[in-house]
Structure 1
Amino acid sequence: MFKKILVAVDGSKSSFKAMDKAIELQKLMDTEIYLMCVYKHHSLFEASLSIGRPDSMDIPDKVLSEYAKEIVNHAKEQAKEKGAVKVRGFVKAGRPSKVITKFAEDKDVDLIVVGSRGTHSDKDGMLLGSVSHRVASRAKCPVLVV
């Protein structure tokens, strides 16, 4: 039924629950799992507006990209420990909902799996997270919100 499943991971518990659900699906059918972490692009101008200014300023995109790679690599390791096979990781910059849906379209993904709340969501969890909501409303394939 599903050949390619995209899982958005951001390091949150919710995103790892989404990954676990994708692994369950993979065990039921021959599918490939794409793990993706999207970081927000920051220009040097945006970084210069920061209140705190360190002596040497790293380019924010470089720092965020490295952190996103760590998240994806950790997720891949966890997925393999849980029995996943055919797992690939991706790191992209941009607005998460747009990047996720565009990637899914470009790669002919059959299912997108996202956590209901990400790392920047409120603690009460009463409403669907903004990224999961936008992905669900923009995607051209089914979206499973975990």
Structure 2
Amino acid sequence: MPLSDNTIKPKPLVSWLRHNRVAVFIGALALYALLTLLVLLYYPDDVEQMSWVDREVFNHKVISSYQLSDNLTQQQVIERLGSPDITAAVKVDNQIYQLLYYRTHRSAPDGITTADECTALLFKNRLLVAIGDDATAQYQAVSRAP
């Protein structure tokens, strides 16, 4: 009398997975890296949802990447960084100068943002013309002019 085979035979996919564990691991790792990259590239940072610490780091990183030769508009900067922490504006000889301050470092944990805790961006007719201390100096010179 022949003995019956009571062993359960694995399905072809399960068998393949067991024999190719390294390939499965590498594939899963590649899929994870691809999904992470897609999120980083296509999911924009929302500055309104960031903690103040994260926002300072974000502002510093973005502003330090700006070059005056990039011809950035005020709208582009606001779309990327959100609303400024402090603003000032003056109109001189039909030219509009706007100074936007974005907090990039905290010097006193008092809950109040001051200009010395920010990096200034100067716009002339809504085009970025100066960054940092140079922006503040240019704005003060223009706003004092008769």
Larger radius of gyration: 2
Q: Which has the higher helix share?
A: 2
TM-score of the superposition, structure 1-length normalised? 0.23
- TM-score, L = length of structure 2: 0.23
